[in-house]
């Protein structure tokens, strides 16, 4: 108690742990009371400091023990993920160096052994099919098949959109539960994935698995064609072979915009295409959505709707006269269709909203500001 | 032989655990996590109204600590370090977030937290009305000053550590605290006689 005789300000007491313990829990009550009463000025100061403490209660920590435990486990998982990514990188660098610097001997040797290896195994290995993959998944899936001659737009529960080409199938859960979003593709689709780093998005397409967090890309995986292709439009995409294929090595390839990957079924090998404009097969198969730009600078909204109609092959109804003087400047690249519509509606304001029914979209608006 | 038993959590202080963590002791990491997680989340929640995002940020802070454990300094006050990391992380996430880009910059992350009243420890009306008045005054302080008070008296940081957490120099941190207390005292002194009179009149 001795050094406390020098206390002249409220903050001296506030900072004193023993004082706080006394106020809150009556610790050392006797000593404090006796000391306080020794001097009337001191008593006044102590009383004031006490009131201050009473007025400065911090809310209790609201997390339960279980919640903290869960958070700890989640953190260990995060750590694991980060450490995995760290390991991944050097391998990739090595891989790239090999591709580009052409350490020819190593390459030829590895290709040769790979080829020999595959040759010996190819007899008992059949291409992984869509139906096998679907059966692997126990969750209830919704399947959409496009039997028409035009692409079809599918909106997923997370706001992502998929433009499904004719003769293609997509299976997906009604609602994405858990920490992952998984869909299954047979045929060709253009994916625009809503960003959610916490829930990576996986596309299982025959022999390959494509992983993204939020980006746009095309996958072509027809059961009756010799190759499976992934073409990236925006963002970063990781591709690996499905681990269900027994004799393929665990290869993971990262693709950036305007890069592509071709998986050759015959020998289960990957070929990375670093410039898609140099690849004839790919140039010729570009669909509308991959060619149209979505950067708009002071463009009439009717024009923007037209671009969307062409890209997604949808029909958009909107009050033409009310929106005839509306111009927008906006960037819609990399946004799934619902997100594009949402951004446009928001920019127009005045109670603008949209309704989507299959390939039919209606814009409800009172004009723009 | 020196025996280190990390199961006896009570007796191990933060800096001992910190050093074991640096050496790769997972148990030490878990103990520190459990000890600090809840109050860090509470601190984070006073900046942004998105509890899930706050928890995410706090977990990311711990993730980084483990990943970069080799590079950690051993001379930190663990609690102050953690508070400062959480604050920075949330500020940065705010900047990144496009929705907020227009409205917030690094300095405008506001401490939206309100102190409450220790009702359980107040038995008489006079004290109650005084305390409630004081509580209003405290909560009306500028957010930076309020945050400084919180760090000083709830989290029990030293002025030095507060300066680090808020990324300002020692003198500024000192000023923040000083100004907060000064203006409170002035307002309170001015009003307290009236309150006392009012209270005594009602009885």
Closest residue to B38, CB basis, from A53, A68, A79: A68
Q: Is B153 within 8 Å of A23 when comparing Cβ atoms?
A: no
Instruction: Write the pLDDT tens digit of every residue in A343-364.
Output: 888 888 777 888 888 788 888 8
In chain B, which residues have their Cβ closer than 8 Å to the Cβ of A53? 118, 153
In this prediction, residue B5 carries a pLDDT of 45
Average pLDDT, chain A: 78
Are A211 and A196 spatial neighbours (Cβ–Cβ below 8 Å)? no
Domain boundaries, chain B: 9-108, 120-202
Rg (CA), chain A: 31
CATH architecture of the domain with range B9-108: Orthogonal Bundle (1.10)
Q: What is the pLDDT of residue A340?
A: 87
Question: What does the pLDDT look like over A289-301, one tens digit per residue?
Answer: 777 778 888 888 8
Nearest CA among A288, A281, A278 for reference residue A190: A288
Per-residue confidence (pLDDT) for residue A106, from 0 to 100: 54
- Enumerate the H helices of chain A as residue ranges: 10-14, 17-25, 29-37, 40-55, 65-101, 104-121, 130-136, 280-284, 288-291, 301-312, 337-348
Nearest CA in chain A to B34: A68
The stretch A165-176 carries a mean pLDDT of 86
**Scanning the structure block, which residue is given the tokens 């997390």?**
A63
A97 vs A48, A92, A101, A259, A274, CA distance in Å? 72, 8, 5, 17, 13
Q: Is A87 on the interface with B (CB under 8 A)?
A: no
Asked if residue A286 has pLDDT above 50, the reply is yes
Q: Which of A11-25, A33-47, A65-79, A119-133 ranks highest by mean pLDDT? A: A65-79
Tell me if chain B has a CB within 8 Å of the CB of A111. no
Contact with chain A for residue B34, Cβ under 8 A: yes
Q: How far apart are the first and last CA of chain B?
A: 70
**CATH fold for domain A292-364:** Phage tail protein beta-alpha-beta fold (3.55.50)
Q: How large is the average pLDDT for residues A191-204?
A: 84
Q: Closest by alpha carbon to B21, among B68, B61, B58?
A: B68
Could you tell me if A202 and A211 are in contact, meaning their C-beta atoms sit under 8 angstroms apart?
A: yes
Query: For residue A96, is pLDDT > 70?
Result: no
- Cα gap A235→A256, rounded to integer Å: 6
**CATH placement of domain A127-284:** 2.60.120.1440
Find chain B residues with C-beta within 8 A of A9's C-beta.
Answer: 181
With beta carbons less than 8 A apart as the criterion, state whether A266 and A226 touch.
yes
State percent of chain A over pLDDT 70: 80
Strand ranges, E, within chain B: none
Cross-strand bridge partners of residue A162: A154, A191
Given this structure, which CATH class describes domain B120-202? mainly alpha
Q: What angle do CA A43, A48, A52 make, to 5 degrees?
A: 145
* The predicted structure's pLDDT at residue A300: 87
Statement: residue B37 has pLDDT above 70:
yes
Residue B153 to residue A15, Cβ atoms within 8 A:
yes
A 29-58 residues inside an 8 A Cβ radius of B:
51-58
Tell me how far the alpha carbon of residue A160 is from its chain's centroid.
10
CA–CA distance, A212 with A197 (Å, rounded to integer): 9
Q: What is the DSSP letter of A166?
A: T
Assess contact for B14 and B32: CB atoms under 8 A.
yes
Give the helix ranges, DSSP H, for A123-248.
130-136
Identify the sign of the CA torsion A186, A188, A193, A198: positive
Nearest to A135 by CA among A87, A171, A85: A171
Which chain B residue is nearest to residue A26, measuring alpha carbons? B121
Q: What's the alpha-carbon Rg for chain B, to the nearest Å?
A: 20
Q: How confident is the model at residue B167 (pLDDT cuts 50, 70, 90)?
A: confident
What does residue A67 show for φ and ψ, rounded to 5 degrees?
A: -65, -40
ipTM given for this complex: 0.79
- Collect all residues with Cβ–Cβ distance below 8 Å to A105 and sequence separation of at least 6: none
């Amino acid at each position: 108690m001795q050094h406390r005789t020098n206390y002249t300000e409220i903050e001296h007491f506030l900072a004193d742990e023993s004082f706080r313990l006394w106020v809150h829990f009556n610790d050392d009550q006797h000593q404090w009371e006796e000391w306080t009463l020794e001097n009337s000025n001191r008593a006044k100061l102590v009383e004031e400091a006490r009131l201050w403490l009473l007025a400065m209660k911090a809310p209790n920590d609201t997390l339960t023990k279980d919640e903290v435990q869960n958070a700890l486990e989640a953190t260990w998982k995060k750590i694991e993920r980060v450490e995995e990514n760290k390991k991944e990188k050097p391998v990739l660098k090595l891989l790239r160096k090999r591709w580009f610097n052409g350490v020819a001997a190593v390459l030829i040797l590895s290709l040769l052994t790979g080829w020999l290896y595959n040759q010996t195994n190819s007899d008992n290995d059949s291409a992984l099919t869509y139906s096998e993959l679907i059966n692997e998944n126990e969750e209830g899936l919704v399947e959409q098949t496009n039997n028409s001659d035009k692409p079809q737009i599918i909106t997923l529960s997370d706001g992502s959109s998929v433009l499904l080409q004719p003769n293609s199938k997509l299976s997906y859960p009604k609602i994405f539960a858990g920490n992952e979003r998984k869909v299954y593709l047979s045929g060709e689709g253009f994916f625009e994935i809503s960003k959610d780093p916490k829930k990576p998005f996986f596309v299982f397409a025959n022999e390959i698995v494509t992983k993204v967090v939020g980006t746009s890309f095309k996958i072509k995986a027809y059961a009756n064609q010799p190759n499976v292709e992934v073409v990236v439009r925006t963002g970063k995409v990781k591709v690996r072979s499905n681990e269900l294929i027994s004799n393929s090595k665990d290869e993971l390839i990262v693709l950036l915009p305007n890069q592509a990957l071709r998986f050759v079924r015959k020998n289960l090998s990957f070929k990375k295409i670093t410039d898609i404009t140099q690849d004839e097969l790919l140039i010729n198969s570009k669909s509308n959505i991959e060619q149209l730009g979505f950067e708009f600078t002071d463009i009439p909204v009717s024009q923007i709707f037209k671009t969307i109609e062409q890209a997604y092959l949808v029909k958009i109804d909107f009050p033409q006269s009310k929106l005839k003087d509306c111009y927008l400047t906006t960037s819609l690249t990399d946004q799934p269709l619902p997100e594009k519509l949402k951004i446009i509606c928001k920019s127009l304001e005045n109670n603008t909203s949209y309704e989507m029914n299959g390939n039919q979209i209606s814009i409800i608006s009172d004009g723009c500001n | 032989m020196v025996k280190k038993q990390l199961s006896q959590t009570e007796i191990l202080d933060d800096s001992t655990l910190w050093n074991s963590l640096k050496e790769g002791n997972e148990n030490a990491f878990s103990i520190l996590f459990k000890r600090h997680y809840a109050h860090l989340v509470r601190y984070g929640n006073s900046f942004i109204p998105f509890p899930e995002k706050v928890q995410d940020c706090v977990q990311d802070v711990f993730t980084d600590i483990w990943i970069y454990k080799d590079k950690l300094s051993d001379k930190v006050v663990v609690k102050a370090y953690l508070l400062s990391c959480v604050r920075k992380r949330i500020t940065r996430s705010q900047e990144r977030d496009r929705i907020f880009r227009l409205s917030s910059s690094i300095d405008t992350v506001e401490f939206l937290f309100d102190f409450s009243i220790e009702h359980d420890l107040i038995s008489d009306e006079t004290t109650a009305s005084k305390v409630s008045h004081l509580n209003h005054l405290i909560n009306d302080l500028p957010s930076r000053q309020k945050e400084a008070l919180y760090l000083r008296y709830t989290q029990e940081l030293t002025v030095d550590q507060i300066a680090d957490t808020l990324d300002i120099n020692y003198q500024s941190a000192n000023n923040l605290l000083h100004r907060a207390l000064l203006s409170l005292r002035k307002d309170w002194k001015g009003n307290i006689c009236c309150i006392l009179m009012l209270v005594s009149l009602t009885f």
